[in-house]
């Protein structure tokens, strides 16, 4: 977390250490350094420490930084989660382990053998021959992925047709 009250501005006259408008960048947080580097219009007032401190304090974090802290509601799990967790949840399919028949999460459109086996049974893949149960699971998984993609395509076409009719 950034402490907004204790922003220290140190100055230099030469090119070393790295600086922008004479303000040493190493003493500032990454967000503040980026702000000074990207906003060249500050150069006109850069000699005034009070102005620079006020500008840095008013600077808001970028959208990318804010979205990583933002929580999204996952309708499948009925829980608020981060954006990365949401992507991971929607990029997996409920599947069963080919060996133990335990429920697992398989990655969508990933047809590696590790995707169809529970973590406890990964040593089965070290055998010289591939188990036929894993191959059967792989074929069924391909069919399931194809069905899901076709369903999504149909839903998209329905929505596109409805919106096209409304615009006419």
More confident residue, 160 or 18: 160
What sign does the dihedral 44-46-51-57 (CA atoms) show? positive
CB 55 within 8 A of CB 38: no
d(CA 160, CA 164) in angstroms, rounded, equals 6
- In this prediction, residue 136 carries a pLDDT of 93
**21 in Cβ contact with 13 (< 8 Å):** no
pLDDT value, residue 1:
45
Phi then psi for residue 45, to 5 deg, are -110, 10
Which are the contacts of 59, defined by CB distance < 8 A and separation ≥ 6? 31, 32, 35
Give pairs for 46-49: CB < 8 Å, separation 24+. Answer: 46/20, 46/21, 46/22, 47/21, 47/22, 49/9
- Summarize the chain as % helix, strand, coil (round to 5): 55, 10, 30
Kindly report, residue by residue over 103-138, the tens digit of the pLDDT. Answer: 999 998 888 989 999 989 888 888 888 889 999 999
Please write the tens of the pLDDT for every residue from 72-103.
888 878 889 888 888 888 888 899 999 999 99
């Amino acid at each position: 977390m950034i402490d907004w009250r204790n922003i220290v501005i140190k100055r230099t006259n030469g090119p070393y250490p790295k600086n922008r408008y004479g303000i040493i960048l190493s003493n500032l947080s990454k967000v503040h350094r980026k702000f000074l580097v990207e906003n060249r219009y500050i150069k006109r007032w850069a000699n005034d420490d009070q102005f620079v401190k006020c500008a840095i304090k008013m600077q808001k974090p970028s959208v990318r930084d804010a979205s990583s802290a933002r929580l999204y509601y996952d309708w499948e799990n009925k829980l608020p989660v981060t954006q990365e967790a949401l992507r991971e949840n929607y990029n997996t399919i409920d599947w069963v382990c080919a060996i133990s028949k335990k429920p697992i999460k398989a990655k969508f459109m990933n047809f590696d053998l590790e995707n169809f086996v529970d973590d406890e049974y990964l040593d089965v893949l070290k055998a010289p021959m591939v188990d036929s149960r894993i191959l059967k699971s792989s074929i069924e998984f391909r069919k399931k992925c194809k069905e899901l993609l076709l369903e999504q395509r149909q839903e998209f076409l329905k929505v596109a047709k409805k919106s096209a009719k409304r615009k006419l």
